[in-house]
Structure 1
């Protein structure tokens, strides 16, 4: 086995030292829960009767207590393309479970909202905290203690992190994530981006824009760009929570169904009653978290995971911060270019070698831990293989020896960039994340007068009025978790892209979010402390010179902020249910610690 890169080893050791006490408490909890809730025998007859009353032909098996019973937690709805395929999964999985003498029940459902639908509108302010709701809903679903294992059905932005957080609190049980796959490729991403910018400039109308968007997002399955949803799928492979190679197989195909069948069978095998017990809380350890970060960096994945990964890690008693991301980014090279970092989408990525290639390259270079417990036999090496159907039998073959498209996928020895492109920037304006992998290196340092806004609508109005037509650092504040739930500001990408294309030096600085779908404009995002918490952004004024540099890791201003009063925050939001989420906003942690209210209040 290749020796582990010394920086990867050091970061892992640092995380383990920092997490020693909290991880020990977590593992103690797993032991206690295993003793108390290892099977259904502790339930009374009345409790059990309630639990299997509607189970039909599975009732005798569940009642006996001998059969393995799998709990399905599903994010199904048929409004969102990524989750629509899940409608038929439970019935299929019940049949697959019966094949091996097991049973399966739908334990509960969790909400699944889409940033793509709510982007730029009031509903987006519920998005980040939907992750906490999903975690809580997962806990409710599993609270009945009827289950020997967890089958987790979720794909998109907050759904997978929320499922991970909730399921980890039941980490004495094994868990398998069951994906549904991406939709077929539509129009080219370059064409879609062009139409968006033309619309921002007023050169095409809404009808042309809608036609373009509909040609891109056009059928069942995950959106095909490499944003947060598809980064989620990559991370589930890197953390060993998928059947190997399951991430990017399209829905409604024989191979997709074969992988769902394999996931059901394998989950039964790794229960305590099975032959190969692998509880989730032992699978998700410090090494698994480091592997997820390495995969994120190597593939140019979503910056949203600078928030989600610390939150997921906290649920397992593991403490991760942005310095860990920064240190790993310095040594993990960028070996993929998937839109918005490249021209092709995740279907092209999979065809070129996909996750099997990425895992093989990282393991061979010592940039990921191979000696980890995964839901698959063989540790991480199992994920350096890709699934195929041969004579209707599911099998796996090694990753291809050569990239199928070196404009999209390259070896570690010849990367697109020598680093992972996710850098920590900090200074007297705060501490944030700069994703360099999508930004031309000539724009990694921007120094210009700033224009300060409290809403993204204010930016769009100023752009339309021609007020931003020059070198400018656009500051959008009061967008953090405690202010308004930290909505994505992806709606700003087209106008800022237009300004940059006109030859201006442009950057964005915000305590809000931008996802892996964000574009080519340099940005310091997730800036902490956020403005509402008294962060420096609250003291900036129009015209202050702000410097953002990924080269030296700086986020600073020459202005003297000490003698100023902070800007007043906007009033609390009402409408679209935002008032119901006030308890989450009031209790949320910082972006660097995961932006979670549930974990913060729980003291995790």
Structure 2
């Protein structure tokens, strides 16, 4: 039986989602077919669908006896994490062919890198790219040719977008195919040190570029525990990866054999296989709770507090921040991976990785075991690790004891008794605070506000020496509707420098911080945002603000009558809506929901 607190949250979600989930499952059942889906196509439709196929493939697809598997890929060779996907389609097509079926490259989706766009105009498109990816995937799957899907994606908005699409096409079995992290480079602690030296003017751009290039240096996912690696963890815990597939290095034989196995596995889940597992039925409320529990137990990215809400909603499941906060109270922090520690994801893998994490969480009754995965019912298979034996892929029992107890702890002796995610609430609204990476004594800040309406203004004030004091940086008009909710990770080095000098500093924003942030207390994703009339729009420089990560209080300490007489600040940055493609996204920006409902443009509030 799962932990009583986790059970209570799960039941609350099931009750809240009763009607929307029922509506979703009814839609899914309507889309099901007892035959291969392409049997509904006319001769002209089908001829177009396989015109470019080989004679053998045309024979298979005409026969209607074997599966046609869609490949949806976020490949491009600028993103280090996605560059390995270049060779995957050929590998997948051969593996599916060996089962008697056909795989077709159904469509590519855009994939941008937040590491490239941090502090740049293109970052304003980052969050909205998730919804574009979901829609692009829908276009790829709209031909109704396919009986199953292989989703190839890793990074920040890509996996959530692919998940929204997978849930939308929930009648199709779906397997996610990872590519793995790059080898460890310059330690993350050293990279952060050089960034702060640069912020203080102690080193120049040459030294900074050298450090960054030594950290991000080869194909594969960035090795810190940001949104990309948090995505991989969440997908595996929901049972959409093969066991242990998340963090195997790219361009290795084991990685290639896992890719072949994923291709074969999806054919075993199609209608024709006799073991039909539509992904929309497989992923349910318990699967989503498991994902949140694992995210909290590892101190994962705060971006997932929006993304999980969005892709759960695509499956008719309604999640909110109260669920995250209550689960955080029930789940201990048992890993230390940068920014919550000094280890990187490869060191986590070496210390026991996902198999050990599963064992710890299952053993403590912190995960629902009565769930379906692409490998069948339950999660016990995920306590195993993939390996090669005589050149063949097999799974063996994973470790039961941590290889490094400074990276993976036990539930009985965790790094922190809670999951390190705090819901803040008060007259300013509701916000998320990641406490897992905060130093002792930094969780409570009571200080005067300094108001900025552009992150670059804060950088300028820092360089001018105007921030050598205690303060709460209020960076507003960064929310979904105002700018598209860009990440403000460029603010981490200057605020970190001030914190190291002994000043009590914090950040309050209706924008986002990177999944790699955490050293400075940051109340982020604030709702309502300034453009929606949130009280943050009335804050003036000098106003006292209390940000209390211990009690969850977020209060503007100004007399209510004074606030009632103040005018709301007006968003003046309309020029920020043009250039670098931003002018094309006005329709989407205007329709984004608040952060607590996923900052999503794709669903009505009623679903």
TM-score tier (shorter): over 0.9
1:583 to 577, 587, 593: 587
Instruction: Note if contact 1:82-1:180 (Cα within 8 Å) is conserved in structure 2.
Output: yes
Aligned length: 601
| Local SS of the residue matching 1:317 | coil
Displacement after TM superposition at 1:17 (Å): 0.4
Give TM-score, length-normalised by structure 1. Answer: 0.98
- Is 1:588–1:600's contact at 8 Å kept on the other side of the alignment? no
SS at match of 1:500: helix
Q: 1:599 aligns with which of 596, 599, 603?
A: 603
Trace 1:63-78 onto structure 2 (pairs within 5 A). Answer: 63-78=62-77
> What is the aligned partner in structure 1 of residue 9 from structure 2?
11
Superposed CA offset, 1:5-36 (max 9, x none): 00110000000000000000000001100049
Cα distance, 1:519 vs. partner?
Answer: 3.2
Name the structure 2 match of 1:121: 120
SS at match of 1:356: helix
Deviation at 1:550, TM superposition (A): 1.2
Tell me the SS of whatever aligns to 1:598: coil
Per the alignment, residue 100 of structure 1 pairs with 99
Residue matched to 2:250: 251
In the TM superposition, 1:301-320 aligns within 5 A as 301-320=300-319
Contact 1:476 1:511 in 2 (8 A): yes
Q: Which residue of 1 aligns with 2:570?
A: 568
Aligned to 1:407: 406
Q: Is the 8 A contact 1:587 1:600 kept in 2?
A: no
SS in 1 for 2:603: helix
Q: Which residue of 2 aligns with 1:29?
A: 27
Give the Cα separation in 2 of the matches to 1:318 and 1:562. Answer: 37
SS class of match (2:578)? coil
2-structure distance, mates of 1:38, 1:15: 34
Tell me whether 373-382 or 30-39 shows the greater mean CA deviation. 30-39
Bigger shift: 282-291 or 377-386?
A: 377-386
Deviations 1:482-504 (A, max 9, x none): 01000000000000000000000
Question: Secondary structure at 1:89's aligned position in 2?
Answer: helix
CA-to-aligned-CA distance 1:145-194 (integer Å, 9 cap, x gap): 00000000000000000000012111001000000000000011111011
In the TM superposition, what is the alpha-carbon distance from 1:472 to its structure 2 partner?
0.6
41, 44, 47: which is aligned to 2:42? 44
- Deviation for aligned residue 1:411: 1.0
Q: Following TM superposition, by how much is the alpha carbon of 1:399 offset from its aligned partner in structure 2, in angstroms?
A: 2.3
Provide, for residues 551-581 of structure 1, a one-character-per-residue CA deviation record: whole Å limited to 9, x for no partner: 1100001113222101111232110010111
**Rounded Cα–Cα distance in structure 1 between residues aligned with 2:307 and 2:411:** 26
Deviations 1:374-422 (A, max 9, x none): 1112421111111111111211122212100111001111100000001
Structure 2: distance between partners of 1:38 and 1:165? 23
Partner of 2:541: 542
Q: Give the aligned partner of residue 186 of structure 2.
A: 187
Q: Which residue of 2 aligns with 1:174?
A: 173
Contact kept, 8 Å, 2:434 with 2:518, in 1: the verdict is: no
Runs (5+) with no aligned partner, structure 1: none
Task: Tell whether the 8 Å contact from 2:36 to 2:64 is kept in structure 1 after alignment.
Answer: no
- What do you get for the CA RMSD once the two structures are aligned? 1.0
Contact residue 269 and residue 275 of structure 2 kept, 8 A: yes
Runs of 4+ in 1 over 6 A off after TM superposition: none
Match of 1:432, SS?
Answer: strand
2:436 and 2:518 in contact (8 A); partners too: no
Say which is worse superposed, 268-277 or 587-596, in terms of deviation: 268-277
In terms of mean alpha carbon deviation, does 571-580 or 423-432 score higher? 571-580
Distance in 1 separating the partners of 2:302 and 2:518: 12
Residue-by-residue CA offset, 1:221-276 (whole Å, 9 max, x unaligned): 00000000000000001111001111000001011011111101110001111132
Tell me, yes or no, if the aligned pair for 1:97 and 1:265 is still in contact at 8 Å.
yes
What is the alpha-carbon distance in structure 1 between the residues aligned to residue 120 and residue 485 of structure 2? Answer: 12
* 8 Å Cα contact 2:153-2:159 kept in structure 1: yes
Measured against aligned partners, the alpha-carbon deviations of 1:301-345 in whole angstroms (never above 9, x if no partner) come to 000001101001000000000000000000100000001111110
- Shift, 1:98, TM fit: 1.1
CA contact (8 A) 1:52 1:63 kept: no
Separation of aligned partners in 2, 1:377 and 1:43: 31
- For residue 288 of structure 1, what is the aligned residue in structure 2? 287
Distance across 1 between alignment mates of 2:463 and 2:257: 51
- What are the residue-to-residue correspondences of 1:207-246 with 2, within 5 Å? 207-246=206-245
Shift of 1:38: 5.1
Structure 2 CA distance for aligned equivalents of residues 149 and 303 of structure 1: 31
Q: Does the CA contact (< 8 Å) of 1:37 and 1:145 recur in 2?
A: no
Paired residues of 2:96 and 2:103 also in contact (CA < 8 A): yes
Separation in structure 2 between the aligned mates of residue 414 and residue 552 of structure 1, nearest angstrom? 24
For residues 305 and 325 of structure 1, what CA distance do their matches in structure 2 show?
10
| Contact 2:36 2:65 (8 Å CA) reproduced | no
Distance in 2, matches of 1:484 and 1:469, equals 29
Q: CA deviation at 1:137?
A: 0.3
- 8 Å Cα contact 2:287/2:371 also seen in 1: yes
